[in-house]
Structure 1
Amino acid sequence: MSIMQVITDQITVFSKDNKPCATAKPGEVLLFKTLDCFSNRIPDEQTTMADLDYSYGFANPAAGPVYIEGAEPGDVLVVDIFDVEVADEGTIATDDHCGPLFETTGYRTKKIPIKDGMATFNEVSFPIDPMIGV
């Protein structure tokens, strides 16, 4: 059995000019490790978006890109996603200049525990619905 490639390089802009961080063969299984939408820069509830240089140079990172051997411009690639695992905690952050209710809120951060497929917000638990990212 071969060792699975782990992709940890992150991009924050989708562009044809992004250089591949890895090469894979058709059919090869890869593991992509990603960060949260803040690039894991909010470690606790005392850190808010006001503490960040929020220039969007780090927001919504995606792991990759990966070059597939033999792929040519115009080819259609099929990707099977076998699993999406999430961290044991999520982050919600508000600021004073964006979002649907920005006029009524300031900078706040809340950490949301996630366990057994459930998120808990202020003692209310609900199922999570993991997605592949941005």
Structure 2
Amino acid sequence: MKRHATAVWNGSLKAGTGKLTTQSKALANTQYSFKSRFDEGIGTNPEELVAAAHSGCFSMQLSAFVGEAGFEVESIETECVIELIEGTIKSSKLTVNAKIKEISNEVFQELVTKAEKNCPVSKLLNAEISSTATLV
């Protein structure tokens, strides 16, 4: 499987603007800029998109592992915070709240750690990845 997205940038780093379009068109000419990345501007930014990708990938991977372990997922909500320091993504912090029928916290935490290490986006990132997970 291959997926793609396209970025078009016009102008200088600080004054320029860009548009992002994904294969699915979920993003279609979505604005991004220096201000939306490093200040308060309209549009998205690469770190926000990585956070969305990591939280989505992790949630799906955790759901797969929970199902393989014989439990039923009601819901998994994952927030991801990407930290960019001096031009490098240094960390990805996942905060997970899950409703899973009849699972113990011990088994849940083991599956969270397994998903943290094995979701494809986790494997892609060369950053510290950590998670805090709560059964609700």
Using the size of structure 2 for normalisation, the TM-score is 0.24
Name the one with the larger helix percent.
Answer: 2
Q: Please say which structure displays the higher CA radius of gyration.
A: 1
